[in-house]
Amino acid sequence: MNPELLRLLRERKIIRIKPDKELIVKEINAADSDLQEARISFDNKKFKWATIQGYYSIFHSGRALLYNKGFREKSHRSLLMAIRELYSNEINPSMFDDFDDAMDLREEADYGLIFSEEGDSEVIRTAEKFLTQIERLLNY
């Protein structure tokens, strides 16, 4: 196991769990639902909510990946760090950068009330790519 993953485990930012197909399917379904809601919010020009919903689609896709490897996260940032380490050979590194950007946009929308149509559109595109990649990778 690589040093970054060991650090996350040691600091209890991620914990081991038994891989559970039901949990994985639940997260993929949540990712799909949040993506659909983000699109509706975007069409209704509710860019704050669309940004948040689009981000949560990405978050749930990431959780499905983490659960698939037998881990659970304790924070959004630790989720990203863990899947970056676990899937570095299977997912293009730019996808993790896009996840990180979407997380920043979600935090700005949620806590700073800073959001835009352009930022939301970017989050939704990332959510679509991420969900497609995860479904392909996990055969769902």
Kind and range of the H or E element at 11?
none
Strand partners of residue 15:
72
Query: Which domains can be identified in the chain, with CATH numbers?
Result: 3-138 (1.20.120.330)
Cα(28)–Cα(107) distance, integer angstroms: 22
Give this prediction's pTM. 0.95
Kind of pairing, strands 71-73 and 14-16? Answer: antiparallel
Dump pLDDT digits (tens) for 97-135.
999 999 999 999 999 999 999 999 999 999 999 999 999
Place of tokens 């485990």: 9
Beta-strand ranges (E) seen in 4-139 are 14-16, 71-73
